[in-house]
């Protein structure tokens, strides 16, 4: 399916999909997850208004494909012509291929979802964090996580949730497409580092308040984070707090809500451990565990496995 600019020019993307339904306002197509992320990376960056029906995208994923609705109309372009000049640089043990606007890259963290480096954005004249997603298309699960994180970070706007500044890939064709880079605002530290400090009651209360504000905003939008832990919460020196990493997030009420292997074990609610149905309150349990860790300067329920974890939280 082709998407057009306001002047009738084709957007720089092409993905094969099957049209399954059409009316006067929308066209529904089915594409695979690899093509979905490739298409989203262009549309989310270029278009001046949201064009993904996130509820449909989340609720109607099936098999190796995803059913997504698009508003069938022309879009005004909010960005100037993208700078397509890239260069490669070694960052830690990984090679980053980034736009030339990003300079002075230095590693600041890594995890199961990707590698993060700090850099300077010469266009915005500010320091940024650049996350390279780890093997986003190794399998269907990785592709879904990459897609969810990209869409949620673009669509959710709140002062206590990390902002997505840019999305880019070095590859220009679907056949070569394998890397996804997310550019975010740069913070000073994550909560793991802050927990080791001696915080007074006022600062601790303010951090907890901001966590709950961010979570309340997600829940009001029908989104459950499902992976809240100190390393997924970042702060600035002025105690400003933001939540990040939406690779495991889900919309409330979907068929995926029974998934047991979510949330890092130490912050996992009892209903998750037992494989029961769960709702937004699993995030609140995680916040409580994080708060307890801030007070005690050590993990609240350090279970060795899921059985020991259950006994610790009993």
Q: How far apart are CA 1 and CA 213, in angstroms?
A: 40
What are the φ/ψ torsions at residue 42 (nearest 5 degrees)? -75, -50
Q: Nearest-CA neighbor of 244 among 311, 307, 312, 186?
A: 186
Task: Report the alpha-carbon distance of residue 45 to residue 129 in Å, rounded.
Answer: 17
Q: Evaluate whether 5 touches 73 at the Cβ level (below 8 Å).
A: no
Residues 160, 166, 167, 169: what is their CA dihedral angle, to the nearest 10 degrees?
A: -150
Helices (H) and strands (E) in the chain, counts: 8, 16
Task: Verify whether residue 227 is a known catalytic residue.
Answer: yes
CA 268 to each of CA 183, 245, 283: distance values in angstroms, whole numbers, following the listed order: 29, 16, 9
Q: How many other C-beta atoms can be found within 10 angstroms of the C-beta atom of residue 103?
A: 13
Written as one string, the DSSP assignment of 9-48 is PBPS-----EEEEE-SSEEEEEEEHHHHHHHHHHHHHHBS
Of 227, 245, 305, 314, catalytic: 227
Question: Tokens 């989104």 belong to which residue?
Answer: 223
Query: Which position has the token pair 């997310």?
Result: 182
Active-site residue numbers? 227
């Amino acid at each position: 399916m082709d998407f057009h600019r306001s002047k009738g020019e084709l957007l720089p993307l092409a993905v094969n999909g099957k049209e399954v339904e059409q009316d006067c306002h929308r066209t529904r197509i089915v594409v695979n997850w690899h093509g979905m992320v490739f298409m989203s990376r262009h549309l989310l960056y270029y278009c001046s208004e949201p064009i993904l029906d996130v509820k449909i995208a989340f609720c109607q994923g099936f098999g190796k494909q995803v059913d997504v609705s698009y508003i069938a109309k022309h879009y005004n372009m909010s960005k100037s012509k993208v700078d397509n000049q890239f260069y490669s640089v070694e960052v830690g043990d990984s090679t980053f291929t980034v736009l030339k606007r990003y300079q002075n890259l230095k590693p600041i963290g890594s995890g199961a979802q990707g590698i993060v480096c700090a850099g300077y954005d010469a266009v915005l004249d500010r320091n940024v964090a650049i996350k390279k997603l780890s093997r986003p298309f190794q399998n269907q699960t990785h592709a879904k996580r990459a897609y969810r994180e990209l869409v949620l970070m673009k669509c959710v706007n709140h002062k206590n949730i990390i902002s997505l500044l840019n999305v880019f890939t070095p590859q220009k064709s679907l056949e070569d497409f394998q890397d996804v880079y997310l550019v975010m605002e740069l913070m000073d530290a994550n909560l793991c580092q802050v927990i080791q400090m001696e915080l007074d009651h006022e600062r601790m209360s303010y951090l907890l308040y901001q966590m709950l504000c961010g979570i309340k905003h997600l829940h009001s939008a029908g989104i459950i984070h499902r992976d809240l832990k100190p390393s997924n919460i970042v702060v600035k020196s002025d105690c400003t707090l933001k939540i990040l990493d939406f690779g495991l997030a889900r919309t409330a009420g979907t068929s995926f809500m029974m998934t047991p292997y979510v949330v890092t074990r130490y912050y996992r609610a009892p209903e998750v451990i037992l494989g029961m149905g769960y709702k937004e309150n699993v995030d609140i349990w995680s916040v409580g565990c994080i708060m307890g860790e801030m007070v005690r300067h050590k993990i609240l329920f350090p279970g060795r496995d899921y059985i020991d974890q259950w006994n610790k939280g009993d």
